[in-house]
Amino acid sequence: MNRTGIIQFVLFFVYVLVQVLIFRNLVLFNSAFCFLYIAFILLLPIELNTMALMAIGFILGFTIDIFYNSMGLHAMATVLVAYTRNYWMATITPQGGYDSGSSATIASNGLQWFLVYTLPLVFLHQAVLFFVEAASFTLFWFTMLKIVGSLLFTMTVIILLQYLSPRGRRI
């Protein structure tokens, strides 16, 4: 296992621990949740193939499900984001393409690209998670409030961590 693989392995556990120990109990206005762990999938190296992403997404989501006692909701939403990630990246590829070995970070690609890349995928994660959790559309507007609030909370934390991390490295 090379240095990057070891760093990714350690970061996996850091994301899980931060999610479970800090953000699990942090809810804003009784409707906005922070699911920082999804950033682990979004910030993996660009050239990672879809099957590897889906496997990592399942393991990550299932690990979160164990601590949240949510019976596969996080695994399902995370696998869907992992599946969609490379297709979305191909759609928003910059004119010169991506540098080999680069990550999908603000430092590598800029804030505008990062927002176009992460916002739809985080929204997809939140929408699947909360609509499947609700199991109906009877509370549609409350579910939409949870999705938008959680999207804003999660994106704010992801962007703050991007700016607080040292240049060239990602969190």
Domain ranges within the chain, ordered by starting residue: 3-164
Tokens 């090379």 belong to 2
Angle at which helix 111-134 crosses helix 73-91, to 10 degrees, equals: 150
Q: What is the mean pLDDT of residues 53-62?
A: 96
Kindly state the percentage of the chain with pLDDT values over 90.
59
| 117 CB-contact burial (10 Å; exposed 0-12 / middle 13-18 / buried 19+) | buried
Distance of CA 86 to the CA centre of its chain: 13
Contact in structure between 46 and 103 (CB atoms under 8 Å): yes
pLDDT at site 108: 79
pLDDT at site 100: 66
pLDDT at site 64: 95
Q: What is the pLDDT of residues 75-92, one digit of tens each?
A: 999 999 999 998 998 888
CB crowding 63-75: b at 16 or more within 10 Å, else e: bbbeeeebeebbb
Length of the chain in terms of residues written: 171
Which tokens is 103 given? 């990550």
pTM for this one?
0.90
